Chains A and B, each alone.
Chain A
Amino acid sequence: MKRSFFLFLLFSLAISVVLFWAGCSKGPESNTFKIGVITSLTGSNAAFGQAHKNGYTIALQEINARGGLLGKKVELDYYDDQSRPDQAVQGVSKLVDQDHVPIVLGAYSSESTRAIVPVVTQKQVPLIIPTAVADNVMESNSPWIFRICAGSGSFAAATLDFLKNNGDPRKLAIVYENTNFGQANNKSMTAAAAAAGLDLVDTEAYQASSPDYKSLLQRVKGKNPEAIYFASYLLDASTLMRQSEQLNLNPKYYTSAGTGFAAAEFPTADKGAGKYAEYTFSVSQWLPSAKWKGSAEFDQKYFALAGSHPAYHAMEAYAVLIAAAAAIDIAKSDQPAAIRDAIKQLNLAETPFGPVKFDARGQNLHPVLVTQVQDGQYKVVWPLDAAESKPIVPAPEWSKRK
């Protein structure tokens, strides 16, 4: 035992030396400009993290093709949060304290993003959030936090706006998955429905990845809602729709808070709900067919890179990097405070993600689209100025579908 102590001491000494070296070594003044990125390259959200990475890669190529930033080539400094909030926090520390990046982009999930908000505020480095929908990531009112995507409150507002102008149903039910995403959307929709004077007849929560939703849908059916609002991921969204058909649940409107109901796989028969996805509505932040200039080019570049078409998560990653680059160009500085001030004043009229301009709270006023699955394709049906197609309401009853 005594010798093992000495060995241990020797060993820990070696480790400390390595850590010390890792901590203190600051390379010579390099000719690259580093931007910090935190996303979920591994873990349960790895698919979305990969979409992020593809989006960042496309933006990075464009920026470097234009000559980089402040005369330097841009380099992305990735930190994998393994889909875990505590790792994301560690990532901020690594990117800021060790690599001295002046700005951080990320994370993917609402959980990880919520966890890093206090840390970036404390370290006084600007953070631009690409995809976290839960509104609690913006609650701190920190001047260092910016979000490019619309939040759960906007999802609820857009859905209700659409419903009000398309038949105005009065009885609403909410079905959501028990995660930060689901609970945040439930909270937003409950508040918005109450404000709009809707009759919330039922609220149902379910556990992620449970295989059977029939009893839950049976209860919903008993309350006879005119519209249902879902907050679900992909697998559960597909199962919910298949089982709705089996139970002959016939609300006039199937609406949803995106994600599963907006995934490219959802209307396909092999990976999603197939024909049962037909007529469902979803909020969306962006589509390859969006009318903003550059959307189609982004779609092409993404397809060339990844071999599939992008969903809005990739576009949001692309957009935060483009916005960050624009802000650094304006600031003409690599100091976090100067970049922060430049982001505040940013006013990009034209990006493939639409106009980018942050309000006093740091929220980009991104318009939320409402789409409907028509003939296996997502079609934008609301707001009117962006619509490609007319909404089909009410959804035909299951027995009358082909």
Chain B
Amino acid sequence: MRKWQLLIAVIFLVAALFVPLLALTDYTLQILFRVFLFAALGLAWNLVGGYTGQLSLGHAAYFGVGAYGLALFSKLGISPWASVSLGVGLAVICAAMIGKVSFRLRGPYFALCTIAFAEVLRLVAKNLPNVTGGDVGIQVPQLFPHSTIRCFYWSGVLLTGFALALSAWIERSRFGYYLMAIREDQDTALSVGVNAARCKLWALLISAAITGLGGALYASMFLFIVPDQVLAMDISTEIAIVAMLGGAGTLIGPLVGSVVLESAAEIFKNIFKEAHLLIYGVLIVVVVLFMPEGIVGTISRKLAWFKKAPSAPFATAAPVTAEEESQRTAINQ
């Protein structure tokens, strides 16, 4: 089963690699780049927010540090790709510091703490005009000599492939089971000997590295960044929504979420003009209402239920979803 899944994922991503050979416009490729970029970011977020169940709303911090790392290190005369690695390193160091502090908190307090750190970084970037250029912005070097959108698209696909492979590996590793144990019940996990603090931190470090790399790619594509663009709350929430809409804690959920959200955002904008945000909001509300576990989570549950229902009608294996619960209450009334 597992091999089949990976095989399909690999085929899908390899097929995606050949998409630019079709006669697509730069615009379409740019949207597809965004789709894959946010799929990778969602997969990275999923390690912390999905498997480990720690709701991080501050991933813009690592995204922005990756982006600014590329800009700042290359300003010092370091070659662009070396700057990317240094930027990613910096994002990981930031994650270590932020994680050390914020993982002491749980639930909503943790979420608030991550928002605070991202906001602090944004304000620092705004108020250091001599270093970051402040709100006037800073130039970002091109990562590809002939900076065509194709190269960005391919690197987006590769990043997604890497994040997907890593997630698949983690999901079935001992480490992954530790993470899921922490999500289900941190105290029980602690009592059976899981080093929760260390596991959560490692998950965050891996997540931050991928997010930082994504930030650097994104910045290089636009050639120019300002703090309100790459360190904004918008980025944090977009990453989290992509993963949650697709299905937090599922392997391909973030990928599905990104395909749906990013393409819907653009298609709606072209069709509905000024009303696009309204329609987009309605879409999110509908999915959250009817698919509380995300698209993939809900679909796989439904499939499992159909499959099991005839043989084991009274099986209690599948927990009751909110929808079924409400239906039952309706019947009882």
Contact = CB atoms under 8 A, between A and B. Distances in A.
Interface stretch (B84-92, B184-192, B220-228): B220-228
A108 to B, nearest CB: 14
Contact of A85 (B127, B226, B259, B266): B226
Interface stretch (B40-48, B133-141, B283-291, B311-319): B133-141
B331 interface: no
B310 to A, nearest CB: 16
A136 B1 contact: no
Interface in B229-281: 229, 234, 250-252, 255-256, 259-260, 263, 266-267, 269-270, 273-274, 276-277
Nearest to B226: A111
B234 A97 contact: no
Interface string B3-26: 011001100100000010011111
A86 B137 CA distance: 13
B222 A85 contact: yes
Interface string B185-214: 000000000000000000000000000000
Nearest to B296: A4
A161 to B, nearest CB: 25
Contacts of A179: 135
B224 A1 contact: no
Interface residues of A, number: 51
A296 interface: no
A9 B11 CA distance: 10
Given A19-B28, A24-B25, A9 B8 contact: yes
Main secondary structure of the interface of A (DSSP, over half): helix
A23 interface: yes
30 contacts: A1-B250, A2-B4, A3-B303, A5-B4, A5-B9, A8-B256, A9-B8, A15-B260, A15-B263, A19-B32, A20-B28, A23-B24, A23-B27, A41-B274, A79-B269, A84-B229, A85-B224, A85-B229, A86-B218, A89-B222, A90-B27, A93-B30, A111-B229, A115-B229, A136-B137, A178-B126, A180-B226, A182-B135, A183-B136, A205-B127
Interface of A: 1-9, 11-12, 15-16, 18-20, 22-24, 41-42, 78-80, 82, 84-86, 89-90, 93-94, 96-98, 111, 114-115, 118, 122, 134, 136, 178-180, 182-184, 187, 205, 207
Given A111-B135, A183-B134, 12 more contacts: A3-B303, A4-B299, A11-B256, A12-B259, A80-B273, A89-B222, A97-B27, A114-B226, A115-B137, A115-B229, A178-B127, A183-B136
